[in-house]
Structure 1
Amino acid sequence: MKKNYKVIQWATGITGQASLHSIIRNPRLELVGVKVYADEKNGKDAGVLIGGNPVGITCTQDTEKIMGLDADCVIYCPMPWDVTEMCAILSSGKHIVTPCPYWFPFTQDREDAEKLISACKRGGVNLHASGINPGGIAEMLPLTLTGLCNRIDRITMTEYGDCRDYGSEGVIRDLMNLGRTPEEADSNPVKDLLTSFWNEPIDMIAEGLGSEVINYSSEHNYVLANQPIETASGTIAKGTIALNNYRHIGKTKEGTEIIQEQIWFMDDICQERLESKMEIPQDSGWRIRIEGDVNLVVDVRLDAPTQPERTAMGISLTGFHCVNAVEATCEAKPNGIKTFLDLPLITGTMGSYSVFN
């Protein structure tokens, strides 16, 4: 039998609830604590919180109580995150897996990287940033596909997202700029933060290819709504941004371009309520394109009959991927920040059997 791991779920927003589902189902993991922020969640059974049966673990707002628990790993999902809090968790001897932006911070955020590495060494543990985009499809999947190639001229990862059913107003308006005016979007300080976000997977891909990025650039394009659009995060007013297109580009010293692109929009794929249209091959999912002496296009689609179901699936992927990374993160040596370049293949878990035991 393989080892089991004691896990704390830290924060239970949309992504945190998905990872909590995954912890409870996973036969290799034992849920030992849940840290919540909202008063209405405090004192609830963790299973009941996510619409299931009681599991005997009570959610708490008490950080000191959570920190005192005996646990191998924390799935850390608050928004915004707190690097000082993360360092305290690591220093206490608990590994962290998180969707927060430390996928490959060694170039973009050296100050935080050094703090986190020092905390890992003090606690004898690891930090791994996972998720989906960034956190998997943005870097792990493109790198895997490059193993089929020879000369590589360009790698492009594009995310397509119909965001009408995404209910987090903070993410939609503050992070994605949807529903903002162009002037508000251009002056939003989050733009600089997003540049760091998307440059991290670019740096990781370059590192995986045995290269480095010598030039970064970015483009920000948007399309306005031609009429009010009702969404789960409120009304997108006419004349405000209803499609946001970010492109972040890194060029390596060998000339390979690595592009991270996002197309987030508040309409169906026909885009009739937008002032102009972009080419969008699917309403939710990702496209990876590799160009060189071999050209590859791989689409990852969310297969469900309705857009709300596809949105829920896309959010769940982030939480599920974090939980599936617990074992690899806990077992990695030496201690420090562990990226996908450091860890073995991360798979789902359905049982505890191994032919080698």
Structure 2
Amino acid sequence: MRGNIEMAEKKYRVIQWATGTVGKTALKYFIENPVIELVGVYVTNPEKIGKDAGELVDLPLTGVVATNDEEQLFAMGADCVLFAGLVQDLDVYCRFLRSGTNVISSAGPFNPTDRYRDQFDRIEEACREGRASYHGCGIHPGFSGDLLPLTLTRLMSRIDRIEVSEIVDKLRNPMVYIEMMGFGRDPDELLANPSRSPEAPYAFQGSMNMIIEGLGKKMERLTTRLEVAAATKDIPYPNGVIRKGTVAGQHYEWTAWVDGAPLVVYHFYWTMGDDVEPRWDNGDSKYRIVIKGDPPLECHLMGSKEADGRHPFLGLQWTGLVGCTAVPQVCDAEPGVLTHLDFGVVQPRGLVRQ
């Protein structure tokens, strides 16, 4: 009984690093969750420096002030830092880890593979030195493309293929990736020189491996394909206009082959609304897992309907939350790199409250 009381009373001192969409979701979670003590917030926007953490997410004042002073945050001796930057920063990770602060990152790296062995070697060394742990996670990689389908395989008798689709209407759900991913470019130019990094499929390869190796197999090769859709009329959005005839839809397809056949396929369908050709007609934004075999299975992960009757895309918010809910497990784990397989079933704390 005493152990249960101590677990319930234990608090984790956390730093939130970056406050974009993912970071704000995490910041709100940390402020409101009774098992978390927010001790620091790192920002890069000069307009946010000096503001109370509560101001940044429309909550009451917390007494924690946002800063861009990295040294101040490194010196705090926090239990954990949740990194929500757009790109990974191994120097920051390793400095925290060497100081004994655990690190959770939504920017990766995620699951160890040979391609990123050097990155994970650096992280592992820092974990050993500081006796701390590292966990890379998000909604995809980090949940919808690995943990969720692997969990669903428990409901199968035979598996022929697993297909995971990320379906996002970026017109209804504006985000910085519209410009970064080359929407508005000439279709032929984008096909010849995609805006998405050629390294991207390999960042997801670890998730594919988690499924495949969990089923007792080995990946033989990874192949990629890209098709685009063009705008059928000018499409205004908050930062500009996607002109008629330019790229208004992208479908990336990455396939992991096992025993000479496709076993795990990732689809990314991104469109700027419905005025595109060809139309892929995937419905509202969601993650869709289809397992072909016996019995066939289909699972949709999406936000609840909003006032207009449509489902919003919550991928960025979920990316923050899947890291937040792992804080106790990461902090209480043995030192080293942690994947979902090291956690068992995560048991979030502090979610049920008045």
What TM-score, normalized to structure 2?
0.91
Contact persistence 2:248–2:271 (CA under 8 A): yes
What percent of counterpart residues are identical?
31
Distance 1:112 1:33, change over 3 A: same
Q: CA deviation at 1:185?
A: 5.4
Is the alpha carbon distance of 1:167 and 1:42 closer, same or farther for their aligned partners in structure 2, counting shifts above 3 Å? farther
In structure 1, the partner of 2:110 is 103
* 1:133-177 CA distance string (max 9 Å, x none): 2211111000001112232111111111111144433x2222x33
CA distance in 2, matches of 1:185, 1:43: 44
Please state whether the residue corresponding to 1:156 is helix, strand or coil: strand
Q: Does 1:133 align with 2:135?
A: no
Worse-superposed segment, 59-68 or 293-302: 293-302
The CA deviation string for residues 75-131 of structure 1, in whole angstroms up to 9 with x for no partner, is 001122212221112111111111113221323312212111111111111111122
| 1:55 to partner: Cα distance | 0.7
Does 1:230 pair with 2:231?
Answer: no
2:324 is aligned to: 323
Q: What is the identity, as a one-letter code, of the residue corresponding to 1:297?
A: E
- Which structure ranks higher in relative contact order (CA pairs < 8 Å, sequence separation ≥ 6)? 1
| Cα separation, partners in 2 of 1:311 and 1:65, compared to 1, 3 Å | farther
Query: Given that residues 191 and 226 in structure 2 are in contact (C-alpha distance below 8 angstroms), is that contact kept between their aligned partners in structure 1?
Result: no
How many Å apart are 1:228 and its aligned residue? 1.3
Q: 1:209 corresponds to which letter in structure 2?
A: L
Distance in 2 (CA, whole Å) between partners of 1:289 and 1:94 is 39
Distance 1:129 1:233, change over 3 A: farther
- Cross-structure match for 1:192: 198
CA distance in 2, matches of 1:106, 1:9: 27
Residue 88 (structure 2) pairs with residue 81 (structure 1):
yes
The equivalences for 1:62-81 within 5 A come to 62-81=69-88
* Structure 1: 5+ residue stretches without partners: none
Q: Secondary structure at the match of 1:44?
A: coil
Contact (CA 8 Å) 2:88, 2:108: kept in 1 or not?
A: no
Q: Which amino acid aligns with 1:9?
A: Q
Structure 2: runs of 5 or more not aligned: none
2:314 alignment partner, SS class: helix
- Specify the code of the residue in structure 2 equivalent to 1:194: A
Code of the residue aligned with 1:260 in structure 2: it is Y
Let me know the Cα RMSD of the aligned residues: 2.1
Q: How many Å separate the matches in 2 of 1:44 and 1:300?
A: 35
Q: Provide the C-alpha distance between the structure 2 equivalents of 1:301 and 1:312, rounded to a whole number of angstroms.
A: 7
Shift of 1:312: 6.4
- The equivalences for 1:198-209 within 5 A come to 198-209=204-215
Structure 2 vs 1, CA of residues 185 and 305 (structure 1 numbering), >3 Å: closer, same or farther? same
Q: Contact conserved, 1:10 with 1:74, CA < 8 A, in 2? A: yes
CA contact (8 A) 1:19 1:319 kept: yes
* C-alpha contact (below 8 Å) 1:28/1:351 kept by paired residues: no
The Cα shift of 1:351 comes to 5.7
State the shift of 1:71 in Å. 0.6
Query: Which residue number corresponds to residue 299 of structure 1?
Result: 300
Pairs aligned (count) = 345
